[in-house]
Amino acid sequence: MSDTIRLEVGGMTCDGCSSRVRDALQAVSGVSSAEVSHEQGSAVISHSGASRENLSSAVRAIGYTVDGLGEEFHWRDGSVWRQSAHNTKWCLIGCSIGDFGTIAAFQFIPYLDGLGWSTMSIMLLAIFNGIMTSIALETFILSAQMALKEAFRVAIGMSLISMVSMEAAMNITDFILTGGAMLTWWVIPIMLFAGFITPWPYNYWRLKKYGVACH
């Protein structure tokens, strides 16, 4: 005979989150099905012999809360490192489009080069444009899972700390290695590495502690 347990799950913001929670629950022994809704913040599990404790632990282990309680924070969760790396990668791609595009425009378009903008001004504009293109790319990716308005709401809620630290790391690296807002074939991979590695631990912490995951 199948029984039903309902869990109040916190930290879900999109269909991707719902899918992760559903997969974690269905991997628990005795679970036959799980209906998960990020809109309602709940999971309804049909099972035969699964305990509420085991179900709750499975959800908390992937970074979400159950009944307001999360797993005790630690840095040893390989699945969260992988997920946060995936999130960081997409943020880096989005940021790089606007950042590199801005620097390249001032570097290779004579009119813009002739404006006489300082290196700091170009870098600040590159940081701003990078954040805007990252939000735009995130909105596009999420629009395949939800309505455009909802996708934009989730995208605009991405961590500003993560994006600013990523942009700052890339531009500081560029300044140290080239002396200015300049792109060369060898500096780009170093900038990308600095932009990825700088916010990655923060993204892990945010995902593990608060369950913020949208990919």
102 & 180 share domain: yes
DSSP for 173-199, written as a single string: HHHHHHSSS---TTHHHHHHHHHHHTT
Q: Is 62 found in the same domain as 82?
A: no
| Structural domain boundaries, residue 107 | 78-209
Cα–Cα distance, 130 to 93 (Å, whole number): 9
Share of the chain above pLDDT 70, in %: 96
Structure tokens at 104: 């390249």
**One domain, residues 12 and 92:** no
Q: Identify whether 129 is part of a domain.
A: yes
Place of tokens 């942009």: 167
**Does 109 lie in the same domain as 44?**
no
| Residues 52, 88 within the same domain | no
Distance, in Å, from the CA atom of 84 to the CA atom of 2, rounded to the nearest integer, reads 36
Q: Evaluate whether residue 215 is within a structural domain.
A: no
Task: Answer yes or no: do 147 and 97 share one domain.
Answer: yes
Q: What is the average pLDDT across 81-101?
A: 93
Residues 57 and 101 placed together within one structural domain of the fold? no
**31-40, 48-57, 150-159, 199-208: which has the minimum mean pLDDT?**
150-159
Q: What does the pLDDT read at residue 215?
A: 45
The pLDDT score that the predictor gives to residue 200 is 95
Predicted TM-score (pTM) of this structure: 0.74
User: Is 71 among the domain residues?
Assistant: no
Report how many domains make up the chain. 2
CA dist 110 to 12, 104, 175, 201, Å?
Answer: 48, 11, 21, 40
- Examine the pLDDT at 208 and tell me if it is beyond 90: no
Indicate whether 172 belongs to any domain.
yes
Q: Would residue 73 count as lying in a domain?
A: no
User: Does residue 21 lie in a domain region?
Assistant: yes
**Position 72 in a domain:** no
150 and 202 co-located in one domain: yes
